[in-house]
Each structure stands twice: as C-alpha cells, then as structure tokens.
C-alpha cells in the first residue's frame, strides 16, 4: 500500500466540510505547518478541531480561524491567541476547554479502543458538569469519553515510507497519540527515508497508525518566547 504523498495539498485533498480534525503540537512546537497551510487554502469549513492550543494570531490554527473555517475547538489552552479568546467570549466559536492531561488521555484512549475512562482531574469543577462520577477507594473521579478524528495531522522529525515515525525534542507532545486516533493519519516529516534506515528500537510511532506520509518543506518553526542565557 502506497503511503507516500508528494505534498500537503495532495495529502489533504479529500478532507471535507464538517469533519473532525486533530492537529499535533504544543503551542507552535511540533505543529503540522504544511497541512495547516494546505487547509487554509481550501474552502472547507464547519470543522471541529482538536488541538492542545490554538496557535497564535497569524500562525498555526490561528490562520484557519481568520478564514472562519472552525466551528468548534477542543483544546486545553487558547491563551496565546487573542482572536480565539475574543471569539470564545463573544460566542462566535464553540470551544470545549479540556484539562490537558484529560485531553491527552482521551486521544490516547481513542486510538487504543478504550471508549471512556475515569480521572480525578476536574472533579468538583465546571469540567465535571453533566458527567458521571464514581468513587474508587476514598477519591472521587469523573467519567470522560475518548476522542477520535476523521483525519489526524501530525508532525514528526523523521519518517520512513512505511509510516514509522521518530519525533524530536518537545515537538513530540500530542503527535504520537493523535497518530493512533485518526481514522486517516497524515504525517509530515522533515526527513523521509527508506524502510530499514530507522532503527526499530528508536521508532516512536509504528507505521500501522499512519496512512499518509510526505516530506514537508519550508518549516518556519516559530518560537513564541525566545529566552536565552547570556
């Protein structure tokens, strides 16, 4: 089965209106830049986007927001994007703010065939509203459902043509779980190699989870807060 695509445009060509998408990344670190650029150029809308953050005003998912492509965001923190916070407060955009650990576990569980799980996170807060609770031992937990997506877009450092992926640094974050939870997972990589070039011991995401892969181009890799030691 051929997994290799020429570029983001071709890999995202069949993504329709109103579907559910996952985007890897923490802040702007490890985001699928090429896929986002391709989606911004498409005239699709009504999207439900699952991503830890919402990018910044002029980069990442923020670009899709300007195009009014996003109907609903499922994220843990949208603070770096003033436009998102504004749309949230004005009611223009539906946002489901989810604790980061719960979001990570929802996605991991979704890809792993676990429909729901109990977590203590959010018990007694508005996150627990309308959710089943149960006591285990002497602690209270809330029931959270898992998440899957029609398409998951992930960014990796290296990948091979079988879809095996290796991530770099903190650009890993949500990418590996999302790779498992997409019905169709599209991986963009900085280096695309032949099978056999990646050591099996070093692979972070086995190719079974990845349906499409392409070598990305022109990564900006924007830094939100450049902090240095003199």
| Nearest-angstrom CA–CA distance, 113 and 177 | 12
The nearer residue to another protein, 89 or 143, going by C-beta atoms, is 89
The nearer residue to another protein, 181 or 186, going by C-beta atoms, is 181
Nearest approach in angstroms of CB 10 to another protein is 26
Nearest approach in angstroms of CB 151 to another protein is 19
| Long-range pairs for 60-65: beta carbons < 8 A, 24 or more residues apart | 60/25, 60/28, 60/31, 60/33, 60/36, 61/23, 61/31, 61/36, 63/36, 63/37, 64/36, 64/39, 64/40, 65/93
The nearer residue to another protein, 179 or 186, going by C-beta atoms, is 179
Q: Is 72 exposed, middle or buried (0-12, 13-18, 19+ CB in 10 A)?
A: middle
Nearest approach in angstroms of CB 135 to another protein is 14
Q: Which parts of this chain interact with another protein (CB under 8 A)? A: 26-30, 52, 75-80, 85, 88-89, 97, 99-102, 104-105, 107-108, 119-127, 157, 167-177, 204, 221-229
Contact between 148 and 137 (Cβ < 8 Å) = no
Nearest approach in angstroms of CB 95 to another protein is 8
The three-state secondary structure class of 23 is: strand
The nearer residue to another protein, 137 or 196, going by C-beta atoms, is 137
Strand partners, 73: 49, 95
Sign of the four-CA dihedral 147, 221, 29, 170:
positive
The nearer residue to another protein, 175 or 211, going by C-beta atoms, is 175
Parallel/antiparallel/unpaired status of strands 139-145 and 149-160: unpaired
Nearest approach in angstroms of CB 60 to another protein is 12
């Amino acid at each position: 089965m051929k997994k290799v695509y020429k570029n983001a445009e071709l890999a995202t060509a069949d993504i329709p209106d109103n579907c559910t998408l996952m985007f890897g990344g923490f802040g702007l670190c490890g985001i699928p830049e090429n896929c986002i650029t391709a989606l911004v150029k498409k005239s699709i809308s009504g999207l439900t986007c699952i991503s830890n953050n919402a990018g910044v005003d002029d980069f990442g998912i923020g670009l899709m927001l300007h195009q009014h492509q996003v109907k609903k965001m499922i994220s843990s923190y949208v603070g770096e994007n003033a436009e998102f916070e504004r749309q949230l407060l004005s009611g223009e955009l539906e946002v489901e703010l989810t604790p980061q650990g719960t979001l990570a576990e929802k996605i991991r569980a979704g890809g792993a065939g676990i429909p729901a799980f109990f977590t203590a996170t959010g018990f007694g807060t508005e996150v627990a509203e309308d959710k089943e609770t149960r006591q285990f031992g002497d602690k209270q937990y809330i029931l959270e459902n898992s998440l899957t997506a029609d398409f998951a877009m992930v960014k990796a450092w290296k990948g091979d043509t079988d879809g095996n992926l290796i991530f770099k640094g903190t650009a890993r974050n949500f990418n590996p779980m999302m790779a498992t939870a997409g019905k169709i997972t599209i991986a963009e990589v900085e280096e695309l190699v032949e099978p056999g070039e990646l050591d099996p011991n070093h692979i972070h995401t086995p190719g079974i989870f990845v349906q499409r892969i392409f070598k990305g181009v022109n990564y900006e890799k924007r830094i939100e807060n450049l902090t240095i030691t003199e």
